[in-house]
Structure 1
Amino acid sequence: MDWMAWTTPTAIFFGVIACLIVTFTVLAIKFPETPRVGVLQIETTRGDRLFITLLGSAFINLAWLGLVSAPQWGALIVCLIYAAAVFRWV
């Protein structure tokens, strides 16, 4: 896999995603959840909200890279706030 830049941040990123998926799988098995309806007016489960969070975070990071000249750590803070909002209200 020489074509991909496997740097430490890249490895951490994929490691965190893998840990999130494992954690949410264990949570779903140990504590089954009934879907709830939030501001999007659709039924969502924890897994749905995780997917929405990851997808939105990808767009936030891409927009940050293209529009803002500040360090990428700022996008991480915005993504964490976005994730908290999604899990609270969606």
Structure 2
Amino acid sequence: MFDWMVWTTPVAVFFICIALMLVGMTIWELKSPTTLRRGWLPMATTRGDRLFIGLLSAAYVNLVFVGLAGKFQEWFSLEAEPSVWISFVLSMALLALVMRKG
């Protein structure tokens, strides 16, 4: 069923983290309903809104990193393409920032 996708460890960890976040947010919402809050995003948001925006941002960071990995190798004279774990860490940091301050 999942033969069409390349299930590398970073990809599996990324999707497991998303699933765990969704379960955690559901439990958090049931225990403590959210209210609108205004952070540095240009609109008032709820926790769910910030999670959605953060996940989209994380996905774009990963896509840009994968798309530019070959260029990074060329620009920085690396022996191999940089690890996708770098983009995973960057995208999770961005997600945490949006969730906390957004």
Provide structure 1 residue ranges, at least 5 long, that are not aligned to the other structure.
none
The reply on whether 1:80 has 2:92 as its aligned counterpart is: yes
TM-score, length-normalised on structure 1? 0.82
- Equivalences for residues 3-14 of structure 1 within 5 A: 3-14=4-15
Cα separation, partners in 2 of 1:13 and 1:65, compared to 1, 3 Å: same
Cα separation, partners in 2 of 1:55 and 1:5, compared to 1, 3 Å: same
- Equivalences for residues 1-90 of structure 1 within 5 A: 1=1, 2-67=3-68, 68-69=72-73, 70-90=82-102
How many residue pairs align between the two structures? 90
Counterpart code for 2:96: A
Cα separation, partners in 2 of 1:78 and 1:36, compared to 1, 3 Å: same
Point out the structure with max Rg over C-alpha.
2
Q: CA contact under 8 A between 2:10 and 2:88: conserved in structure 1? A: no
Provide structure 2 residue ranges, at least 5 long, that are not aligned to the other structure.
74-81
TM-score, length-normalised on structure 2? 0.74
3-state SS of 2:59 partner: helix
**Greater strand percent: which structure?**
1
Instruction: State, as a whole percentage, how many aligned pairs show the same letter.
Output: 46
Q: RMSD of aligned C-alpha atoms?
A: 1.8
In 1, Cα distance between the equivalents of 2:85 and 2:8? Answer: 17
Deviation, structure 1 residue 27: 0.3
In 2, Cα distance between the equivalents of 1:11 and 1:81? Answer: 18
